[in-house]
């Protein structure tokens, strides 16, 4: 048993020495890892062996060799980790490029993965080999796309990025939202405000774009009930100060005019400052509107905002009586230096200019002073878009029986928003207007009244040279003869245009007119 155990020990020792000998031979014969230099040694170290310490007598340090190998393995692992990190960082970019390639191959379809909405399908381009019908097909596709999406404005340009598909790139821009144009109804104690509100609501195309704000003064309970009966169709606001205003003794009979001016100031501040609107159309509780009332103001809003020589748009023609206007020219518009009122559009920046100096009474005449007008004009129609039915009021029926009751209200809808109204801009209008007026034959008023020798329908020109001659001619021809700061009603550059016996007539100052004479009031 002892002999057998001794044999096993000897065999084990022999195997241990043999294995270590083989390992030593393997490590000794293995070439150094690194870049070889000139003498076969690895760098750094030149001709010397890299990383191997020599013993005295030429032996090799086995432990040092093992440590060196471990360091090499660790270094290699770090390198592999860095490579893996780089691969992961570029993975998202590779997938994005691969997705773009797929979309290009699918014909340019785009999916919005974030919103999960269906893609906007662009019209297919023409076949690549059909060069003859290329332009026609592209135009047809674009027209179909615009028709399908009417609220989009489309510009086209060739797409040079995808030449193989020969498609057209569509640059789509959403049009800006339409401006809100509130209608401010100035009311007091007329229950007939119902007639005004009924027509406004009947013809209003959109409650959102044209909110109706009824501002009531006076505190008249029955009128308040009528306004309240419309519910959410209108906004009812009330001027809180109903007290009398201290005035000069000779102005006591004009107390109503003072209260109206106070009401206007308060109501306009509510619209512009409290409700923050940028524009407003002002009507009073005794006005009835035409079917195209809203269309008229909508179309003229861009002209008013873009031409600094304009400061209002009015629906009223002071000389708009039957027989004085052309019933076949419902689309005819003019510039006028006279502030007409009676349904008019005002911008917020103009109100900011007027409000600090707003008068205590007679606000409409005050608007006609040169200090307020500042040589600016308004737009007015040939045929009025408002008509007054209020004979009784603070003016006690002044002008109503003689003029106002005969004003013709337009009944034909004119699609003004589809018309090119750029001719109303001052630089365009003045040239054409002056040319038309002063190229018309100059005749005497007697010739016009008798009609002898006047075969053409006009226009003809009748000339005044003084305040008195203007008033005489205006009365004989049936137009309003009063002047405010020298400006005739409905006049532009001193010219009043109207019909007389079916002929177009211009009542004009001499050629070369430059300015109004304020003493002609």
Q: Which residues are catalytic?
A: 364
Q: Give the separation between CA 337 and CA 358, rounded to whole angstroms.
A: 20
Comparing CA positions, the residue from 491, 252, 294 lying closest to residue 394 is 252
Using DSSP's 3-state secondary structure scheme, residue 69 falls into: helix
> Within 13 A of 34's CA, how many CA atoms are on the CB side?
19
The answer to whether residues 396 and 277 touch, using CB atoms and an 8 Å cutoff, is no
Residue 371 φ/ψ, nearest 5 degrees:
-65, -30
Write down the H helix ranges in 229-379: 255-269, 293-306, 348-354, 363-367, 370-373
List 327's β-bridge partners, or say none.
none
Q: Give the separation between CA 77 and CA 67, rounded to whole angstroms.
A: 15
How many C-beta neighbours within 10 Å does residue 321 have? 20
Comparing CA positions, the residue from 492, 508, 509 lying closest to residue 336 is 492
Cα distances (Å, whole numbers) of residue 319 to 245, 477, 478: 34, 11, 9
Q: Give the separation between CA 519 and CA 430, rounded to whole angstroms.
A: 25
DSSP 287: E
Comparing CA positions, the residue from 414, 411, 409, 415 lying closest to residue 386 is 409
């Amino acid at each position: 048993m002892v002999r057998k155990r001794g044999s096993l020990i000897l065999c084990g020792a022999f195997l241990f020495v043999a294995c270590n000998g083989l390992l030593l031979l393997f490590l000794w014969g293995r070439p150094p890892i690194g870049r070889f230099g000139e003498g076969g040694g690895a760098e750094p170290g030149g001709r010397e062996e890299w990383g191997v310490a020599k013993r005295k007598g030429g032996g090799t340090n086995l432990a040092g060799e093992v440590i060196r190998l471990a360091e090499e393995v660790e270094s290699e692992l770090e390198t592999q980790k860095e490579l893996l990190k780089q691969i992961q960082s570029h993975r998202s970019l590779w997938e994005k490029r691969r997705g773009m390639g797929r979309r290009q191959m699918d014909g340019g379809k785009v999916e919005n993965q974030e919103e999960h909405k269906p893609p906007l399908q662009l019209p297919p381009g023409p076949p690549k080999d059909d060069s003859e019908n290329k332009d026609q097909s592209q135009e047809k596709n674009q027209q179909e796309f615009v028709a399908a999406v009417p609220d989009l404005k489309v510009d086209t340009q060739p797409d040079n990025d995808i030449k193989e598909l020969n498609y057209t790139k569509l640059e789509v821009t959403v049009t800006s939202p339409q401006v809100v144009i509130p209608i401010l109804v100035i009311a007091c104690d007329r229950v007939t405000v119902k007639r005004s509100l009924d027509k406004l609501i009947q013809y209003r195309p959109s409650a959102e774009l044209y909110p109706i704000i009824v501002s009531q003064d006076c505190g008249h309970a029955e009128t308040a009930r009528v306004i309240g009966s419309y519910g959410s169709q209108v906004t009812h606001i009330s001027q809180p100060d109903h007290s009398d205003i201290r005035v000069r003794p000779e102005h006591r009979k004009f107390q109503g005019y003072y209260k109206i001016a106070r009401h206007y100031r308060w109501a306009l501040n509510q619209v512009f400052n409290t409700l923050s609107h940028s524009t407003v159309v002002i009507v009073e509780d005794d006005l009835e509107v035409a079917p195209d009332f809203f269309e008229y103001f909508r179309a003229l809003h861009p002209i008013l905002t873009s031409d600094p020589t304009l400061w209002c748009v009015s629906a009223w023609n002071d000389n708009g009586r039957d027989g004085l206007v052309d019933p076949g020219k419902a689309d005819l518009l003019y510039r006028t230096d006279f502030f007409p009122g009676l349904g008019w559009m005002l911008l917020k920046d103009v109100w900011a200019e007027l409000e600090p100096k707003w008068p205590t009474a007679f606000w409409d005449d005050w608007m006609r002073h040169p200090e307020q007008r500042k040589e600016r004009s308004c737009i007015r129609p040939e045929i009025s878009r408002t008509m007054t039915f209020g004979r009784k009021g603070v003016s006690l029926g002044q002008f109503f029986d003689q003029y106002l009751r005969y004003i013709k209200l337009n009944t034909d809808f004119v699609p003004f928003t589809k018309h090119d109204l750029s001719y109303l801009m001052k630089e365009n209008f003045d040239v054409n207007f002056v040319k038309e007026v002063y190229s018309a034959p100059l005749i005497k008023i007697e010739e016009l009244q008798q009609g002898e020798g006047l075969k053409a329908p006009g226009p003809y020109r009748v000339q005044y040279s003084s305040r008195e001659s203007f008033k005489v001619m205006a009365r004989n021809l049936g137009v309003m003869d009063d002047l405010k700061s020298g400006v005739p009603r409905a006049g532009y550059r001193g010219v009043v245009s109207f019909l007389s016996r079916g002929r177009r007539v211009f009542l004009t100052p001499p050629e070369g007119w430059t300015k109004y004479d304020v003493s002609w009031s």
